[in-house]
Amino acid sequence: MLDFSSAIKSYLERKNVDPFKLSLDELGAECVKEVERFRRIYPLVFEQYIGNEIFSVVIASYDPRSKNSLVLNFVIRIDAATRKVEAARFTRNLISQQSRRGVWSYGETDYLNKNVFGGIGRGFLTSDTRSFILVDKPVSEARLDKLLLLQTNIIDATSLTTQIIPSPSGIGGPVDIVLLGKKRRPEQIRWKSNQ
- Predicted local distance difference test score (pLDDT) of residue 41: 93
Do 132 and 101 form a contact (C-beta atoms < 8 A)?
A: yes
In this structure, the answer to whether residues 90 and 107 fall within a common structural domain is: no
More confident residue, 155 or 193: 155
Q: Domain ends where: 73, 96, 119?
A: 96
Do 194 and 132 sit in the same domain of this protein?
Answer: yes
pLDDT at 193: 56
Average pLDDT in the chain = 89
Give residue 32's pLDDT: 95
Q: Do 72 and 154 belong to one domain?
A: no
Task: For 88-123, write each residue's pLDDT tens digit.
Answer: 999 999 999 999 988 888 888 899 999 999 999 999
Phi-psi region of 172 (alpha: psi -120 to 50; beta: other; left: phi over 0): left
Q: Which of 70, 96, 122 is the last residue of a domain?
A: 96
91 and 107 inside one domain: no
Same domain, 90 and 110: no
Domain that holds residue 132: 99-195
Are 162 and 111 part of one and the same domain? yes
pLDDT at position 69 over 80: yes
pLDDT band for 185, please (50, 70, 90 cuts): confident
Angle (deg, nearest 10), helices 4-15 and 24-41: 140
pLDDT above 60 for 192: yes
Which of 65, 96, 127 finishes a domain?
Answer: 96
Higher per-residue pLDDT: 96 or 193: 96
Provide, rounded to the nearest whole percent, the portion of the chain with pLDDT above 90: 55
Q: Angle at the Cα of 1 (from 56 to 61), degrees rounded to 5?
A: 35
Contact between 55 and 108 (Cβ < 8 Å) = no
- Which pLDDT score is estimated for 176? 81
Domain total in the chain: 2
> Is residue 75 within 8 Å of 56, Cβ to Cβ?
yes
Same-domain pairing of 124 and 92:
no
Do 60 and 128 reside in the same domain of the chain? Answer: no
The pLDDT value recorded for residue 51 is 93
Whether this model's pTM surpasses 0.75: yes
Closest CA to 75 of 53, 44, 100: 53
Q: Are residues 105 and 194 both part of a single domain?
A: yes
In the chain the first and final C-alpha atoms are separated, in Å, by 26
Report pLDDT for 163.
94
Whether 88 and 106 share a structural domain = no
Torsion angle of alpha carbons 41, 43, 44, 47, nearest 10°? 130
CA distances from 37 to 32, 33, 40 (A): 9, 6, 5
The average pLDDT across 70-95 equals 95
In this predicted structure, the answer to whether residue 195 has a pLDDT above a threshold of 70 is no
Both 122 and 177 in a single domain?
yes
Identify which of 175, 134, 131 has the alpha carbon closest to the alpha carbon of residue 152.
175
Looking at residue 179, what is its pLDDT?
Answer: 82
Q: How much is the average pLDDT of 58-80?
A: 93
Question: Does residue 135 sit in the same domain as residue 59?
Answer: no
The three-state secondary structure class of 169 is coil
